[in-house]
A and B are shown apart, each in its own frame.
Chain A
Amino acid sequence: MTHLFKRFARTAINFEVEEELRFHIELLRREYIRQGLSPEAAQGATLKRFGDLEHIKNQCVEISRRSHPCMRALKSFLLLVFLTGFLVRVFSADADVRQIGNMLMAVAALSRLLLYARGLSPSSFLSRTGTPSRLILHAGSQTPVAADHERTRTPVERVISDE
């Protein structure tokens, strides 16, 4: 049942990510066609500019999956179980009850570890640490003659100070 739900949730996330990326790619392709490229050339240029589509999609799906409300609820529940176990262990005078506390802590910790291990696929690792962003800085001459202060500002500063 859980497996079926996870599969359904993953498929739904997949569709959503795909739709979003497809929208971007379609607009990009139209823009290239508008600039005069043939449909085939536009398709090639679009895919080149967009980057590795499958890898990007997998990264997005993985991030969405781990931030899914059900996954967050499950993690919170496990934390609650662990804390309950801890409190029972600390405050109970009865050895048998303390044993129950130990068991709760162990079950919660193992489940959390299992969740963590399941999410440790190479793609999830990349999405956790973040792939280096691709930035191309043009040092060309297309910049119009600008005021002195404009020339000294970096492209990033132009974006962040553009009110």
Chain B
Amino acid sequence: MASARTDLMQGTLELLILKTLARESMHGYGIVQRIHEAAEDLLKIEDGSLYPALYRMEERGWIQSEWGLSENNRRAKFYQLTRRGRKQLEAERANWERISQAVNRVLQTA
């Protein structure tokens, strides 16, 4: 299968994580799986790169974490969106749509 590795635009991974956590709290593995499912496996995130992003987002107060029990009864760290995170999601989403529209316009006219 042809595949291309591309640089993720600054903030895109954060947007995907925020969106994924908007539904429910999840552990890191669950977040990656959900993103892969939603993107129908067209988009793959290198699993490890998720964690520094999660820690940075927690540092900024967009998400918070707590230890709990996973579906297989193991201790796992669950992340959930904070109020600030919800606002950030809206801002990032609007920003993404603006950029996406701008790029599409250029592609259609150029």
| Residues of A near any B CB (own CB < 8 A) | 16-17, 19-21, 23-24, 26-28, 49-53, 56, 59-60, 63-64, 66-67, 127, 130-144, 154-160, 162
Contact = CB atoms under 8 A, between A and B. Distances in A.
- Dominant secondary structure at the A interface: helix
Contact of A138 (B15, B16, B44, B47): B44
A30 to B, nearest CB: 9
Interface residues of B, number: 46
A64 B20 contact: no
Nearest to B20: A159
A60 B55 contact: yes
B59 interface: yes
A125 to B, nearest CB: 13
B8 to A, nearest CB: 4
A56 B52 contact: yes
A87 B32 CA distance: 50
A140 B51 contact: no
Contacts, number: 157
Contacts of B48: 21, 50-53, 56
Given A28-B47, A135-B43, 20 more contacts: A27-B29, A51-B46, A60-B52, A60-B55, A67-B55, A67-B58, A134-B45, A135-B13, A137-B44, A138-B1, A138-B41, A138-B44, A140-B3, A142-B1, A143-B40, A157-B96, A159-B19, A159-B38, A159-B43, A160-B96
B105 to A, nearest CB: 14
B93 interface: yes
A156 B16 contact: yes
